[in-house]
Amino acid sequence: MNEYLVLVVEDDKPIRNLITTTLKMNDYRYITASRGHEAIMLSASHKPDMIVLDLGLPDIDGVEVIGQIRTWSEVPIIIVSARSEDQDKISALDKGADDYLTKPFSVDELLARLRVIQRRLGKTENASVTEFVNERLRIDYVSGCVYLDEKELHLTPIEYKLICLLAKNVGKVLTHKYIIQTIWGSNAENSEASLRVFMATLRKKLGDSEQQLIQTHIGIGYRMMKL
């Protein structure tokens, strides 16, 4: 039995039904909302473990819903948006959403995203502050050393910052803007192009050419997977 409670926020009834049927068949518990204000209230009163949130809602924008919920909660949020809403998707991720699904999406995709979140939720419970371990990767925060199969990697300071940022947000999609601002500061001159170069060399050192550890989300950003 799955103990997770999911809040589904979607005004489009067929899509909402598709999501709730999928959840039910996979033993998730769920509650639903079709409007933004209702979603904010339900997330405060029911404290769901995860939220699946449509961005185009009839009363307030999904991005605003995220902003409000993030003032008191770090609950994982998966946004659902139409392909035409790419800019909104990026704003939502910048506001603190964890992941996204683009309509039309398959039931399998939805379940895969939920599992990514679950792995992260499971991970935070026994998280260690001084060390990060993800399959072959180990970061020792105290000494500032990164190991792959217990062999030390020689990373530049920027690469080290990058891998720590991705590790801290494991399972979460980080936008280019967020990464650039966090690594280089808010008035950074650095572009997505230079971020790509740093990411390529980091990946090479990690032996991650297949992108199993660090996923590229084209036009959006990057995510470290919990392996």
Alpha helices (H) along the chain:
13-25, 36-46, 62-69, 86-94, 107-125, 157-168, 176-184, 192-206
What sign does the CA torsion over 107, 170, 211, 132 have?
A: negative
Return the residue of 4, 34, 56, 168 that touches Ca ion, per CB under 5 A. 56
Smaller CB separation from Ca ion, 11 or 140: 11
Closest CB to Ca ion among 12 and 140? Answer: 12
Mark the segment that binds Ca ion (CB under 5 A) among 39-47, 49-57, 126-134, 142-150.
Answer: 49-57
Q: How many of the chain's residues bind Ca ion (CB under 5 A)?
A: 4
Q: Which residue lies nearest Ca ion, judged by its C-beta?
A: 56
Q: How far is the CB of 16 from Ca ion (least distance, A)?
A: 9
Contact stretch for Ca ion (CB under 5 A) within 11-19, 144-152, 164-172, 196-204: 11-19
Q: Which long-range contacts (CB under 8 A, 24 or more apart) does 109-117 make?
A: 110/19, 110/22, 110/52, 111/22, 111/26, 113/78, 114/4, 114/6, 114/28, 114/50, 114/78, 116/171, 116/225, 116/226, 117/50, 117/76, 117/78, 117/171
Question: Is the CB of 11 or the CB of 192 nearer to Ca ion?
Answer: 11
Binding test (CB under 5 A) with Ca ion, winner from 4, 5, 11, 35: 11
Partners of 81 in beta bridges: 102
**Which residue's CB is nearer to Ca ion, number 13 or number 151?**
13
With CA atoms as reference, report the closest residue to 61 among 27, 15, 97, 114. Answer: 97
Looking at the DSSP bridge assignments, the partners of residue 146 are 139, 153
The total of other beta-carbon atoms located within 10 Å of residue 128's CB is 8
Return the range that interacts with Ca ion (CB under 5 A); candidates 50-58, 105-113, 119-127, 157-165. Answer: 50-58
Closest distance to Ca ion from the beta carbon of 166 (Å): 31
Binding segment for Ca ion (CB under 5 A), chosen from 5-13, 41-49, 64-72, 90-98, is 5-13
**Which residue of 22, 40, 54, 180 would you call a contact of Ca ion, by CB under 5 A?**
54
Asked if 67 interacts with Ca ion (CB under 5 A), we say no
Quote the tokens at residue 108. Answer: 């399998």
| Residues within the interface to Ca ion (CB under 5 A) | 11-12, 54, 56
